[in-house]
Structure 1
Amino acid sequence: MKVAIGIVSALLFLTVVAAITRGSDGGPAARDTLPLVSQPGHGPVQSATRTPTRAPAAERISPPPEADMRTYSGAGDDLVLLQTTEVMFLASLTHRGTSTFIVRPLVRNGPEQPPIVHAVGGYQGTVLVNGHDGKVLHGFAIKADGAWTLALKPVTLARAWTGGPVSGRGDEVLTLSPASPGPTTVRIEHAGSGNVTVHAYGDGSPGILVHEIGTYHGEVPLPAGTSLVTITTDGTWTLTRT
C-alpha cells in the first residue's frame, strides 16, 4: 500500500513539474520568453541607448541651427539659451566695461565648461565654439559689468587665409580654403605680454601649434588637412605660410 501511494505521489510531482516548465498553450514557459542578454561569443548585446561618436572637426563644419545664428546683446550678467547642437560655429563678441568679461559654454547634464572668453575690460574678438570637445552645447553664461554683444555665425564666414601673410589683434578664427594639402611651415609672430595659443583643426583632433607667454617668433609645422586655425591672445600677431 505504501509503495502504491509513493508511486502516485511521484507521478503527481512529475505532472506539476511538466506544467510549470511548459506554457498554457503547450509552448515554452514564460521565463523562456524573456529577452536574452548575449554572452561573449553569442552575438552583440542590444542596448536601448547608444553613445554618439564624435566626427572629425572637418566633418562638423556644417550650417548650425539657423534660428540661433543671430546677434544677442545685453548689459551685465546674463544667460543666452540656444537649440542644442554639436556643430562648430563662430562667436564674435564685444564688451564695453572695466571689469571681468567671461563667456562660458553651457552643456546639458555636464560639468562646468572652460570659458571661450576670459578678459578684463573692453573686448572684441572671434572664437570657435564646439571645437575641442564632444559636448552638446545649449547656451552661454555671460559675466560682465558693461554692455556686450554676442554674434553667432557659421564657420564658413570665418576670415579667409589664402596663403600669404595674415595679421590681426586679439582672438581670431581663420579658414583655409582649400585645406592644407600637406605638412607646411608656418611662421608665427606675436607681440604682447599675455598668453598666445594657436590651434590647427582638420582631419584629426585639434593640434596646438603654439602655446607661449609674451613675445614669440618661431616656425612650426602646419598639419596636412588643416582647414581652420584659431588664435587666442590679447596681443598682435602675424601668420605666414612658407
Structure 2
Amino acid sequence: MSQPFTLSACAEMLWLDKPMEWRLRRLTELGFEVGIWDWRAHDQNMLERSGAVFSSMTGYIRGRLADEEGAHELLVTARQSIDVGKRLKVHRLNLHGTGLGEGGLPVTPCSVVTGAMWLKARDTLNRIADLGAEHGVTFMLENLNLPVDHPGVPFARVEDTLTLVSSIDRPELRLNLDLYHVQIGEGDLISWCRRCQPWIGEIQVADVPGRKEPGTGEVNYPGVAHALDAMGYRGPVCMEAFASRDPEAALAAFRAAFTI
C-alpha cells in the first residue's frame, strides 16, 4: 500500500466544539496538512504557532471576476491574503467567481453571464496570475455547485473554471477541483479529473449527499483515487467535509480511500 497524494483536511469542518488551535494541532499529530477558509476569522499568531502545515486558504476578502470594480477589490484583497499567506507559509490561495457571504451564497448573485463578462473574468485572472508570479504563490479557481449550495455564483461549474484556467494556462493560476461540487453539478468525476489534470492545483473531496467523509454516500472515492494515481496526479487532496460521527474515524476513512 502506498500514499501517492499529500492529504489535508479542512479544519473549519471538524471538531466544531473545539478551539481552532486544538484542531490544528490534532490534525498535525494525525499527519494531515490543514486547509482553512477566511484567515480573518482566526488569530494569526495562533495560526503561526500551531505548527500546522497549511495546504490552502481563501485568497481574497471581497471582489468579483467580471467587472472592473469587483476586479479591483479582488486584487487589493488578494494582496492582503498574500501577506498573510507568506507569514503562514501558505502557497495556494483560493478564489471564486464572486465573493461568498452567509451560507456560501454569492454577495453579488448573477443569473446570466455574458460574453463581455467572460472576457473581463479572463483579464482579471491574468492580473491575478501576474500577482502570483510577483510573489511566488499559486492562486486556484474553485468550482462550486449551483443546484444545492451556491446558486447565483458566476463561473461556478467545473466546465467554466476549466475553460478560464486552461485558456490562461499559467503556472500561477490553477484549479481547485472540488469533486463534491462536481458530483452534484455534473457527475462523471473521473472524466472531469482527466480533463482537468494538467491544471489541477488541489483536489477537494466530500461524499454526496451530506458533504461528509468518503464512504458515507454515493461516490466511489477509492476508484477515483486509483484513477488519479494512474493518470499521474501527485498533488494535494483535501477532505473538505463534515464528520458523520467521530472526526478521527472520518479522517481514517478518508486516508483509507486515498491509499493505493
- TM-score for the superposition, normalised by structure 2: 0.27
Rg bigger for which structure? 1
Which structure carries more helix by proportion?
2
- TM-score for the superposition, normalised by structure 1: 0.28
